[in-house]
Amino acid sequence: MPADQDKYILAVDLGTSGLKVALVSSRGDVVGCEIEALPLFLLPDGGAEQHPDDWWNGIKNATRRLVGSGLVPIDEIVAVSCTAQWSGTVAVDRGGYPLMKAIIWMDSRGARYVKRVTGGPITVEGYGIEKLLIWLRLTGGIPAHSGKDSIAHILYIRNELPEIYRQTYKFLEPKDYLNLRLTGRYAASYDSIALHWVTDNRNITQIVYDERLLKMVALEREKLPDLQRAIDILGPIKPEVAAELGLNEKVQVVVGTPDVHSAAIGAGAVRDYEGHLYIGTSSWLTCHVPFKKTDILHNMASLPSPIPGRYFIANEQECAGVCLDVLRDNILYHRDELAAAPPHDVYDHFNEVAARVPAGSDKLIFTPWLYGERTPVEDRFVRGGFFNQSLKTTREHFIRAVFEGVAYNSRWLLGSVERFARRRLDPINMIGGGANSNLWCQIHADVLDRTIRQVKAPIWANARGAALLASTALGYITLDEIREQVQIANTYEPNPENREIYDELFKEFVNLYKKNRGIYARLNRAV
């Protein structure tokens, strides 16, 4: 399609710390974007919530500014495609109104109830052997004992908020809730529903709810939405919503996909075994694979992809870019008697300062497990910290150590992913806000010993992926053409001079977890 005939997709990317709304051409070019910050409510009992109204108000405000900017003619905006944080739960009544705040992916309050429904007289890794075999055979995975999967949220509501559970008409993932607001229709995609662990995923082209699994978690089928493919058209936007957002009533809404999935598309890593690394608030390292498989020891499984007939390796590390936020807000610029306001370009300064320190930060090691971990270990009690500080350690060391600690965690996961895929992932496309840092890209190349390809405009990869998925749904491009629409800004090769120091420190990084996990459990079991 010639550029002058391009149509445009309004891509909504609902993250944890904020949401992005972008106008993206049918060929994947981001022509305009707006960002809205979002409040996050962390509760002392392991709870993590956000208000769906905050999501929707942010979308309205950002969309009105973006559409009102006149970057493209209104009639050329043909679709809305949402992507959003995965493993969240919005309980809505028959009118589609939220009955409580949304429980998001960081929430672990359902852990005890997951253990109840997955246990048994004879266990493997804490799972009843009979139940484990059923879950693995049908879904490819099993509810995580961390309590952070969507099914854990529902079990928490059923056991501790029974009136909310009784009033709930549907439990929706965040992406599917946004689609409800846009169209008035209840639906989930094959990929967004996966972490409820109640679907039979053996036939990747026709995924269905399974009565045995629903019975095992005592969840009524009618409380879950009907299933569709991510590339299906859900329907037209509601006229009143179109007017509210400043869009044409003919705009179509695509079923869409969660953020982990849209990131792979936006990174251009759509063929089997093409790896991509996302560094945002959280992090993941994944690729598509042509098989269904589970690694229960490392909390990974191949789950349905938004690309029809495909699986991708599902994993997530809890804290990545947020570690820099914590360094900024809780340590260097904390609001107390010693407070100093951070400069608006503080992350640029972090890069400059960290670059002055030699690779390895003079053997200062940072562990980024600030909110527990999911993969390659599932441990909700583990916590982060700085290790091996000396009298000569400076602020520069602390900053670089955070960059490196996240990269060590990426390397830890890479080993498990490559064993799962049975092949080396090289090169790896890097996206997310962290990929804006040239230094962080080079550190990852050095620590992982892999070529890192920095995707152009990496912070918009999720939105680009959502738009490219919509573009295929509407017939503007084919799935095979997606890879060619994603541009690479820079390529980073491993520096052999840093191999020895990073090999040494990575080994000790893993040892820090192994030697201290008992301490973390004792300290944080009641937290």
- Give the 3-state secondary structure percentages of the chain, helix then strand then coil, rounded to 5: 40, 20, 35
> Which parts of the chain register pLDDT below 50?
1-4
**Strand, coil or helix: what is 189?**
strand
Cα–Cα distance between 188 and 191 in angstroms, integer?
A: 8
- Please work out, in degrees rounded to the nearest 5, the angle formed at the alpha carbon of residue 282 by the alpha carbons of 437 and 400: 40
Q: Between the CA of residue 135 and those of 187, 315, 429, what are the distances in Å?
A: 23, 18, 32
The single-letter DSSP state of residue 288 is: E
Write down the pLDDT at residue 447: 98
Contact 282, 319 (CB under 8 A): yes
For residue 180, give the nearest of 226, 247, 248 by alpha carbon. 226
How many CB atoms sit inside 10 A of residue 284's CB?
A: 26
Rg of the chain over Cα atoms, rounded to whole angstroms, equals 22
**CA-to-CA distance for 372 and 513, rounded, in angstroms?**
11
Return d(Cα 449, Cα 408) in angstroms, integer.
11
Tell me, yes or no, if the pTM score tops 0.75.
yes
Nearest Cα to Cα of residue 408 among 458, 372, 369, 353 = 369
d(CA 393, CA 439): 20
3-state secondary structure 388-447: CCCCCCCHHHHHHHHHHHHHHHHHHHHHHHHHHHCCCCCCEEEECHHHHCHHHHHHHHHH
Q: Are 194 and 210 in contact (CB under 8 A)?
A: no
Show the tokens assigned to 354: 């960290």
Q: Are 502 and 480 in contact (CB under 8 A)?
A: no
Q: Assess contact for 91 and 153: CB atoms under 8 A.
A: no
Q: Sort 392 into a burial class: Cβ within 10 Å, 0-12 / 13-18 / 19+.
A: exposed
pLDDT value for 7:
95
Give pLDDT, residue 148.
Answer: 93
What is the predicted pLDDT for the residue at 31? 96
φ/ψ of residue 349, rounded to 5: -65, -40
* Burial classification of residue 355, based on how many CB atoms lie within 10 Å of its CB (0-12 exposed, 13-18 middle, 19 or more buried): middle
Peptide bond into 236 cis (omega under 30): no
Residue 252 has a CB neighbour count (10 Å cut-off) of 18
**Structure confidence at residue 158 (pLDDT):** 98
N-term to C-term CA, the chain:
56
Pairing of strands 170-172, 90-92: antiparallel
Between CA 226 and CA 395 the distance in angstroms is: 52
Q: What is the DSSP string of 320-383?
A: SHHHHHHIIIIIIT-SSTT--PPPTTHHHHHHHHHHTSPTTGGG-EEE--BTBB-SSS-BSS--
d(C-alpha 312, C-alpha 293), whole Å: 10
12 forms beta bridges with 21, 82
pLDDT single digits (tens) 308-357? 999 999 999 999 999 999 999 999 998 887 767 788 889 999 999 999 99
* Closest listed residue to residue 436, CA positions, set 414, 403, 408, 405: 403
Q: How far apart are CA 389 and CA 395, in angstroms?
A: 11
